[in-house]
């Protein structure tokens, strides 16, 4: 017997049966009250989870499309933006900004470091900038950047703050309006456990004002078109939406709201702690600053003599569990365990058991059951 | 009892149960041999149906995203393009080109007219142009433009031909390579009967050459990134793909290939004729030039005293069948019946019966059963 592979990479994440059933349900025609109600419900739930009263727009695209939409709608060629880069997705945001001919001031960090608000402040002091573009969760390192602290810097100076929350939203705390996030960009396939193919952005008044004068070209991702269609008597998309994915996201968000946003966050915190204690109990070192807030992804240093990529490949081949390898400079040196989304205690225990067995086979000294025991200890203390 | 609404609008179209089941199946992780095989199979089948040996790239987006990708990858600001506009989607292509700051030479037609290759020739004679951007099926009028004839004009002059085949591919004949189509843009939710959210483009060598020097910004729709990822040992997408929609499209294309491309075209032709004969038997007039090749959509003039929009609304309210209203200048004057995709004879008969009943209720003199009889006549003659 072969069960399907188990995804414990940071997205896409496992999908609840309710979401699969919704995706396999009859299409709701995209013009009319049926789809209008779906769009409104999904929009409202996303706003609740983001903690924003700003407009929220949904695209048929992956998260990267949402990031591009921010660059295309907010800026004109030559606009200066500050982009802290502490991993793969920081690099991606900088690349998008360069592709749209912005003047990109990168703040370079070693991968694994957390962005420091003081550095952003310094970069903004050098020369005026239109915006700061940053991640909340740098998926490649697992590090959660302090968006709240950066928000204090940008708000003081009237600079826009654009936050990529694709792999953090719903898994770690976020208060978009409270922290002064002008544009938050999220995706369907992370903590919500829907499947990939939908991106969304929240847009503050200041961001709308910037978009009015921005000359970068956009059509498919033109925010104004999505807003106008949403504000019809029966909300619509300007272009045919990914209806089945919207039905899936609707089901996923219902599950999320039934559990309750605070409860979901608490679950992510506990599963993250259990994962980290389990890994530590095997004598492995965590990677990245502030691992205590890395509730979405646990990044682990591959131990001496073990190649991280080989470990990930072997766990997949032997146990059908998909971890994520290190990217860029971390290739082979780090592996990552995703635990954002539809996970419970036994998903973590299963994963730690697979890790124990695989490390032992690779010649690393393992005390069988040690990681699982440590995780049980975390669960027992709750 | 209420069955789901029946879509007889030109996309999205009804979805076979096999496609729903595929969309409701476990995700295949997007990095690895499982997804690689899906991507390769879908790509190969689309190339077969397009009749092209060019590269084929698939995006998580609606068809409009695919159109934008052509404008973003092929051109630089100020490039002159010729855009025949004979309906809503012609206008859309012109708008996208303007949004990307191209020099757009529109050839204006009345809605319902077919593009004439001679007009394209004249527009190209006025001044050099980089490309012609046109529809094969102008969904808003049902008219099928003669891409083959325009292809002779563009090929002679070394001008790129970009064809929007979103609502025609698989429903009417196309020979992308034979006709000299450099870029064909299609979508998942039309004749293939998959659900919306995927777009794809074929890219000829000449189009690749143009993209090398094109300076319009692109990242999410950057063709080169998709090609590079596809050419990895295990094909991938550069950004997380809409995995569930790909599984659905895979299932849809298997059904399409099992039936056979020629057989599918023949079915579309017969259903189109039956629809048109049925409508004529009620004394209604077809709308648009060359209705004999309009195998995707039948556009019908609303009869004197009947508002087309009211008719569409009433058919939906009373019979749960979704027709499409007239757009733009055709609002109220025309209604449209989509018959591209997963339709058989009885879908057409059901639709014609609903039309008979609704027209009668709206005070239009109807001979009950006349439209159905005419359709049966078409079926009997095959």
Top residue of B6, B59, B60 to mutate, by most chain A CBs within 10 Å, is B60
Cβ atoms of A173 and A181 within 8 Å: the answer is no
**CA–CA separation, B190 vs B11, rounded Å?**
5
Cα–Cα distance for residue pair A25/A216, rounded to 1 Å: 39
Nearest CB neighbour to B195, from listed A27, A62, A64: A27
CA nearest B20 in A: which residue?
A: A24
- For residue B103, list chain A residues with Cβ-Cβ distance below 8 A: none
Nearest CA in chain A to B25: A20
**A221, closest residue in chain B (CA to CA):** B65
Across the interface, do A322 and B9 touch by the CB < 8 Å criterion? no
Dihedral angle of Cα B172, B177, B181, B187, to the nearest 10 degrees: 50
Q: What is the side-by-side strand order in the sheet with A324-325?
A: A297-301, A334-338, A324-325
The residue of chain B nearest to residue A97, with distances taken between CA atoms, is B219
The yes-or-no verdict on residue A333 having pLDDT over 90 is: yes
Residues B244, A32: C-beta atoms closer than 8 Å: no
Q: Taking CB atoms and an 8 Å limit, are B15 and A24 in contact across chains?
A: no
The alpha carbon of residue A201 is apart from the nearest alpha carbon of chain B, in Å, by: 16
State the count of interchain CB pairs (< 8 A) between A and B: 172
pLDDT exceeds cutoff 80 at A267 = yes
Kindly state the average pLDDT of the residues A244-254.
Answer: 98
CA pair distance B146, B293, nearest whole angstrom? 10
Chain B: closest CA distance from residue A48 (Å): 25
Flag if A68 and B219 touch (Cβ within 8 Å).
yes
A65 vs B68: CB contact, 8 Å cut-off?
Answer: no
Taking alpha carbons only, the member of B26, B20, B56 closest to residue B248 is B20
**Best interface-test mutation with B: which of A3, A219, A241, A320 has the largest number of B CBs within 10 A?**
A219
Task: Convert the pLDDT of each residue in A26-49 to its tens digit.
Answer: 999 999 999 999 999 999 999 999
Residue A207: its H or E element: helix A205-213
Which residues in chain B are closer than 8 Å to A4, comparing Cβ atoms? 26
> Residue B109 — φ and ψ, nearest 5°?
-120, 155
**For A60, which of B61, B99, B221 is closest by C-beta distance?**
B61
- For B317, counting Cβ atoms within 10 Å of its Cβ (0-12 exposed, 13-18 middle, 19+ buried), the class is exposed
Is residue B45 within 8 Å of residue B192, measured between CB atoms? no
Do β-strands A160-164 and B334-338 pair in parallel, antiparallel, or remain unpaired? unpaired
Over residues A325-336, the mean pLDDT reads 97
The residue of chain B with its CA nearest to that of A18 is B24
Structure-block tokens of residue A273: 């702690």
Average pLDDT of the residues in A275-297: 98
Q: Which residues of B touch A97 (CB under 8 A)?
A: none
A242 contact residues in B (CB cutoff 8 A): 60, 62, 195-197, 242, 245
- From chain B, pick out residues whose CB is under 8 angstroms from the CB of A35: none
- Complex prediction ipTM: 0.97
For position A92, what pLDDT does the model report?
98
Q: Do A240 and B20 touch (CB under 8 A)?
A: no
Distance from CA of B194 to the nearest CA of A (A): 10
CB spacing of B26 vs A12 below 8 angstroms: no
Tens of pLDDT, residue by residue over A104-117, are 999 999 999 999 99
Could you tell me which residues are beta bridge partners of residue B184? B163, B202
> What is the reported pLDDT for B11?
87
Query: Cα distance from B26 to chain A (closest Cα, Å)?
Result: 7
B239 contacts on A by Cβ (under 8 Å): 62-65
Please list the pLDDT of chain B residue by residue as tens digits (382 residues): 778 899 999 989 999 999 999 999 999 999 999 999 999 999 999 999 999 999 999 999 999 999 999 999 999 999 999 999 999 999 999 999 999 999 999 999 999 999 999 999 999 999 999 999 999 999 999 999 999 999 999 999 999 999 999 999 999 999 999 999 999 999 998 999 999 999 999 999 999 999 999 999 999 999 999 999 999 999 999 999 999 999 999 999 999 999 999 999 999 999 999 999 999 999 999 999 999 999 999 999 999 999 999 999 999 999 999 999 999 999 999 999 999 999 999 999 999 999 999 999 999 999 999 999 999 999 999 7
pLDDT > 90: what percent of chain A? 98
The domain spans of chain B are 17-258, 260-380
Q: Per-residue pLDDT for A67 more than 90?
A: yes
pLDDT at A39: 98
Whether B5 and A29 lie within 8 Å, measured CB to CB: yes
The closest of B132, B83, B129, B79 to B109, measured between CA atoms, is B83
Nearest CA in chain B to A21: B24
pLDDT over 80 (residue A1): no
User: B156 is written with which tokens?
Assistant: 């002679």
Q: Backbone phi, then psi, for A283, in 5-degree steps? A: 85, 10
Assigned CATH topology for domain B17-258: 3.40.640
Listed residue (B165, B112, B116) closest to B140, CA to CA: B112
Chain A residues with CB-CB distance to B65 below 8 A: 60-61, 65, 220, 239
Report chain A residues whose CB lies below 8 A from the CB of B331: none
Partnered with residue B299 across adjacent β-strands are B336
Chain A residue with CA closest to B219: the answer is A96
Model confidence over B270-308: pLDDT tens digits? 999 999 999 999 999 999 999 999 999 999 999 999 999
pLDDT of residue B64: 98
H helix runs in chain B, sequence order: 17-23, 33-50, 63-74, 88-99, 117-126, 147-157, 176-179, 205-213, 223-230, 243-259, 261-281, 308-319, 345-361, 370-380
Q: Which among A27, A59, A65 has CB closest to B15?
A: A27
* Cβ-Cβ contacts under 8 Å, A189 against chain B: 240
B11/A240 Cβ within 8 A: yes
- Measured in angstroms, the CA of B60 and the nearest CA of chain A are apart by 5
Backbone phi, psi, residue A268, to 5°: -65, -40
What pLDDT is stored for residue B214 in this prediction? 98
Q: Name the H helices within A214-344.
A: 223-230, 243-259, 261-281, 308-319
Tokens 């703040």 identify what position? A107
The pLDDT tens digits for B21-48 are 999 999 999 999 999 999 999 999 999 9
Torsion angle, CA of A230/A231/A233/A239, rounded to 10 degrees?
Answer: -30
Q: Using the structure block, give the residue that is written with the tokens 């203390």.
A: A381
- Which ranges of B238-364 would DSSP assign to H, the alpha helix? 243-259, 261-281, 308-319, 345-361
Interface test with A, best of B21, B99, B198, B240 (most A CBs within 10 A): B240
Q: How many CA atoms lie within 13 A of B366 on its CB side?
A: 23
> B166-204 pLDDT, tens per residue?
999 999 999 999 999 999 999 998 999 999 999 999 999
Minimum Cα–Cα distance from A218: chain B residue: B99
Mutate to test the interface with B, among A7, A62, A252 (most CBs of B within 10 A): A62
Picking from B21, B239, B242, the nearest residue to A24 by CB comes out as B21
Å from B328 to nearest chain A CA?
15
Chain A residues with beta carbon closer than 8 angstroms to that of B68:
219-220
CA dihedral A337, A342, A347, A348 (to 10 degrees): 50
Q: How many CA atoms does the CB half-sphere of A307 hold within 13 Å?
A: 6
CB B344 within 8 A of CB B379: no
Please give the pLDDT value at position B4: 87
A260-380 has CATH 3.90.1150.10 classification:
yes
Joined together, the tokens standing for residue B330 give 């055709």
Q: Residue A28 has what DSSP assignment?
A: P
Q: Cβ B60–A60 below 8 Å, yes or no?
A: yes
Give the pLDDT mean for A249-270. Answer: 97
A269, A48 contact by CB (below 8 A): no
Nearest CA in chain A to B92: A219
CB contact under 8 A, A220 and B24: no
Task: Output the pLDDT for position A165.
Answer: 98
| Nearest CB to B99 within list A9, A219, A242 | A219
Q: Which of A32, A63, A100 sits opposite B217 (nearest CB)?
A: A100
């Amino acid at each position: 017997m072969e069960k399907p592979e188990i995804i414990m990479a940071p997205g896409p994440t496992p999908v609840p049966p309710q979401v699969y059933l919704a995706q396999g349900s009859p299409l709701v025609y995209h013009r009319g009250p049926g789809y209008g109600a779906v769009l409104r419900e999904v929009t409202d739930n996303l706003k609740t989870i983001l903690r924003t009263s700003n407009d929220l727009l949904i695209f048929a695209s992956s998260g990267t499309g949402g990031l591009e939409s921010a660059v295309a709608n907010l800026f004109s060629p030559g606009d200066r933006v500050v982009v802290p880069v502490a991993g793969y997705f920081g690099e991606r945001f900088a690349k998008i900004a360069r592709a749209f001919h912005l003047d990109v001031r990168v703040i370079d960090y070693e991968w694994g470091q957390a962005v420091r608000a003081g550095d952003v402040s310094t970069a903004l002091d050098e020369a005026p900038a239109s915006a700061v573009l940053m991640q909340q969760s740098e998926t490649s390192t697992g590090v959660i950047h302090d968006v709240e602290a950066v928000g204090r810097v940008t708000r003081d100076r009237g600079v826009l703050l654009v936050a990529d929350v694709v792999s953090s939203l719903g898994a770690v705390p976020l208060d978009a309006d409270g922290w002064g996030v002008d544009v938050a960009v999220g995706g369907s396939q992370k903590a919500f456990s829907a499947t990939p193919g939908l991106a969304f952005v929240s847009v503050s008044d200041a961001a709308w004002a910037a978009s009015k004068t921005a000359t970068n070209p956009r059509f498919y991702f033109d925010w104004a078109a999505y807003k106008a269609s949403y504000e019809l008597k029966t909300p619509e998309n300007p272009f045919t939406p990914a209806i089945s994915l919207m039905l899936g996201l609707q089901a996923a968000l219902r599950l999320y709201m039934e559990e309750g946003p605070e409860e979901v966050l608490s679950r992510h915190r506990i599963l993250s702690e259990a994962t980290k204690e389990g890994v530590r109990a095997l004598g492995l070192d965590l990677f990245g600053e502030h691992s205590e807030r890395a509730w979405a992804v646990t990044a682990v240093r591959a131990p001496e003599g073990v190649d991280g990529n080989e470990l990930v490949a072997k766990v997949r081949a032997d146990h059908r569990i998909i971890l994520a390898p290190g990217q860029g400079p971390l290739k082979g040196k780090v592996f990552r365990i995703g635990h954002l989304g539809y996970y419970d205690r036994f998903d973590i225990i299963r994963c730690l058991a697979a890790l124990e067995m695989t490390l032992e086979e690779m010649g690393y000294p393992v005390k069988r059951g040690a990681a699982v025991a440590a995780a049980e200890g975390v669960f027992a203390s709750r």
